Amino acid sequence: MNRIDKRFKELQRRGETAIIPFLTCGDPDADATVELVVGMAEAGADIIELGIPFSDPQADGPTIQAASLRALENGVNTEVVLNVVSRIREYTDVPLVLMGYYNPVLQYGLGRFAKAASEAGADGTIIPDLPLEEAGPWQTEARRHGIANIMLVAPNTPDHRVEKNARASRGFLYYVSVLGITGARTDLPDTVSQGLKRVKGLSRLPVCVGFGVSTPEQVRKLSAFADGVIVGSAIVNRIRKEMSGTDTRGRKAAVASLARFVAGLKAGTRPPE
């Protein structure tokens, strides 16, 4: 049982839903990523997704694409990401999930990447462009090194395929709330709750919902149906606005501001007192 499984068991005992922030590693720089992750963990983040920058992020909208480009321009590569994970582990035990595309993992070497990620302190991976039919070799290496490979399903995924992805997944199953790319949205379709009910009925694992979630109100509504809520673009936007060009004092204030935002999101996952 890795840190992700333990966290969901703890949340179940407390009657809470997980809040899962996403940020791109190396945006605006590696040091900032360490500070932000630690601050978010202290603010109540249950699991944190750390994006591996990639030049062609097919599933991501403009916000995360731009963050990925900025990180790449800063020289962030797979080695840097793994080093950041190791540095984060000096401060917090929060479960960490690496979210990235298959090409960098394949180029690094499947076994080598799984071993290095595990040794650095990562707990899971999400590879959105790796379909179930082609995931076998990576899943074998991930399991060998104790990495939970998290699969994705969408509103139009048929039941039989949801079941297959759920069986192949570890940690949790990622439910994509809307068809298309990532990006903060002011409104989510009413059908999200129905989709979550359907998928939860087909999965033995916790089901977490992402894509488009941006406000504490959305988190509160989705917490009634999901085991975890993922917030990405809204956080990446805030990082860009609040940390760009700041000095040391300004950076500390920005980290504190983002931690408060995460704390507000987490509040929506707790049962009413």
Which H or E run includes 99? strand 96-99
Return d(Cα 177, Cα 156) in angstroms, integer. 10
Return d(Cα 268, Cα 273) in angstroms, integer. 12
DSSP E strand boundaries for 101-172: 124-126, 148-150, 152-153
* Residue 65 near residue 57 (C-beta atoms within 8 A): yes
Return d(Cα 129, Cα 235) in angstroms, integer. 23
Tell me 48's DSSP state: E
Using DSSP's 3-state secondary structure scheme, residue 38 falls into helix
Catalytic residue numbers read 49, 60
Return d(Cα 25, Cα 4) in angstroms, integer. 20
Which H or E run includes 88? helix 78-88
